[in-house]
Amino acid sequence: MTHSSSRATDDPQGDTGMIFKQPFSRRDLLKFAGGAVAVVGTGIWAGNVLMPEAAIAALGDPDLYLAGTDGWIYLPKTPAIPPFHPDVLAPGLLTTYIFGFREVTGLTDIQLSNQQNKAQHSAPLFWANQFDPAHPVDFKVQLTNLGLALRPDLFDAHTLHWHGFRNVIPFFDGEPSGSVAVRTGRIFTYVYRPREPGTYMFHCHVEDVEHVQMGMTGLVFVRPLQDGQTLAGHTKFLYNDGDGSTGFEREFAMFLSEVWAEAHWADAHIQLPEWSDYRADFSLLNGRVYPDTVAPNAPINAAASTHRLAVETDPVTGDLVAPVGHPELQYQPQSSLVNCNAGETVALRFANLGFREQAMTLAGIRMRVVGRDATPMRGRDGTDTSYETETINIGPGESFDVVFTAPGHTGPGYDTYMLYNRNYLRANNLAPGGFGGQATEVRVYAAGGVPAQAYPNDLGV
- Say if residue 148 is in the same domain as residue 223: yes
Please report, for the domain that includes residue 113, its CATH number: 2.60.40.420
Q: Dihedral angle at the C-alpha atoms of 294, 295, 298, 299, nearest 10 degrees?
A: 100
- Say if residue 90 is in the same domain as residue 192: yes
Type and span of the H or E element at 153: none
The verdict on residue 347 lying in a domain is: yes
- Say if residue 23 is in the same domain as residue 115: no
Q: Show the CA angle centred on residue 232, arms to residues 230 and 236, nearest 5°.
A: 50
The verdict on residue 3 lying in a domain is: no
The verdict on residue 142 lying in a domain is: yes
Task: List per-residue pLDDT tens for the chain, 461 residues long.
Answer: 444 444 333 343 333 333 333 444 444 443 444 443 333 333 333 344 445 554 555 567 999 999 999 999 999 998 889 999 999 999 999 999 999 999 999 999 999 999 999 999 999 999 999 999 999 999 999 999 999 999 999 989 999 999 999 999 999 999 988 888 999 999 999 999 999 999 999 999 999 999 999 999 999 999 999 999 999 999 999 999 999 999 999 999 999 999 999 999 999 999 999 999 998 899 999 999 999 999 999 999 999 999 999 999 999 999 999 999 999 999 999 999 999 999 999 999 999 999 999 999 999 999 999 999 999 999 999 999 999 999 999 999 999 999 999 999 888 899 999 999 987 666 666 666 666 789 999 999 999 999 999 999 999 98
- Say if residue 114 is in the same domain as residue 167: yes
Tally the domains of the chain. 2
* DSSP-assigned states of every residue in 192-230: E---S-EEEEEE--TTHHHHHHHT-EEEEEEE-TTTTS-
Under 8 Å between Cβ of 105 and 198: no
The verdict on residue 1 lying in a domain is: no
- Say if residue 45 is in the same domain as residue 101: no
- Say if residue 125 is in the same domain as residue 177: yes
The verdict on residue 269 lying in a domain is: yes
The verdict on residue 122 lying in a domain is: yes
Please state, in angstroms and rounded to a whole number, the distance separating the CA atoms of residues 52 and 277.
45
Q: Helix, strand, or coil here: 113?
A: helix
- Say if residue 158 is in the same domain as residue 269: yes
- Say if residue 39 is in the same domain as residue 181: no
Q: Which residues form the domain of 212? A: 64-445
- Say if residue 74 is in the same domain as residue 150: yes
The verdict on residue 141 lying in a domain is: yes
The verdict on residue 10 lying in a domain is: no
Please state, in angstroms and rounded to a whole number, the distance separating the CA atoms of residues 454 and 115.
27
- Say if residue 71 is in the same domain as residue 204: yes
- Say if residue 28 is in the same domain as residue 115: no
Q: Helix, strand, or coil here: 355?
A: coil
- Say if residue 80 is in the same domain as residue 178: yes
